[in-house]
Amino acid sequence: MYKTYYIRMYHYAYGFINDMDASKDVVSDVFSKLWKDFSDIDLDKVSSYLYVCVRNESMNYLRKQKGMAKYVEYCKSAFSEEDENYWQNMDDRLTEIGTIIDTMPSKTKFVLEQCYMNGHTYKEVAEMMDITTNGVKKHITKAFSLLRSHFKDKKEGT
């Protein structure tokens, strides 16, 4: 089955992702899940199952990539572009952000990581934590407020 469908699934994933390595990873993940759930799958519909799974995994991959891009954009916008040395020390800044995130309350840290680093939606995180989506939004607001406050204070020299 792997030999029969791998190339087709790879090209299908590549059509969404446009990245050879990521497409290979997506297809490998789908086949791995297929082997785990093999007894539950109707062999007459395996082709349809694979196409749906590859599409879904490709969309999940893209959503996670988009989430990381949003997080990086936020980090960039949180800093002043007027200070030329600021961008020269980007590694230090990212380490500093990581340190700030590590000091956040555990639930706030979890929400931030799940939404912006792992690409989960607010609804998915709310279900994971058994809270409302508004609760997730409050944690995100709190996390960004802590980040903004830290860098604002630092810029002002306090």
In a shared domain, residues 44 and 116: no
Q: Structure tokens of 2? A: 């792997």
Choosing from 37, 63, 89, the residue where a domain stops is 63
In a shared domain, residues 121 and 148: yes
Distance (Å) of CA 124 to CA 66, 119, 120, 145: 16, 10, 6, 22
Domain count of the fold of the chain: 2
Q: Residue written as tokens 């349809």?
A: 48
**Residue 105: its pLDDT value, please?**
93
Q: What is the model's pTM?
A: 0.45
With respect to residue 73, please indicate whether it lies within any of the assigned structural domains.
no
In a shared domain, residues 53 and 98: no
**Residue 138: its pLDDT value, please?**
96
With respect to residue 72, please indicate whether it lies within any of the assigned structural domains.
no
In a shared domain, residues 87 and 134: yes
With respect to residue 9, please indicate whether it lies within any of the assigned structural domains.
yes
For 106, the domain range is 79-158
In a shared domain, residues 86 and 32: no
**Residue 78: its pLDDT value, please?**
59
In a shared domain, residues 119 and 51: no
**Residue 91: its pLDDT value, please?**
64
With respect to residue 50, please indicate whether it lies within any of the assigned structural domains.
yes
Q: Which of 82, 79, 22, 30 is nearest to 54 (CA)?
A: 30
Low-confidence ranges of the chain (pLDDT < 50): 82, 86-87
Q: Model confidence over 57-94: pLDDT tens digits?
A: 888 888 888 777 766 666 666 555 545 554 456 667 77
**Residue 64: its pLDDT value, please?**
82
> Are residues 118 and 64 in contact, defined by beta-carbon separation less than 8 angstroms?
yes
In a shared domain, residues 155 and 109: yes
With respect to residue 68, please indicate whether it lies within any of the assigned structural domains.
no
**Residue 98: its pLDDT value, please?**
84
Choosing from 36, 63, 90, the residue where a domain stops is 63
With respect to residue 69, please indicate whether it lies within any of the assigned structural domains.
no
Q: What is the DSSP string of the chain?
A: -HHHHHHHHHHHHHHHH--HHHHHHHHHHHHHHHHHTGGGS-GGGHHHHHHHHHHHHHHHHHHHHHHHHHHHHHHHHHS-SS-HHHHHTHHHHHHHHHHHHHHS-HHHHHHHIIIIIS---HHHHHHHHTS-HHHHHHHHHHHHHHHHHHHHHHHHT-
Give the distance from CA 19 to its chain's centroid. 17
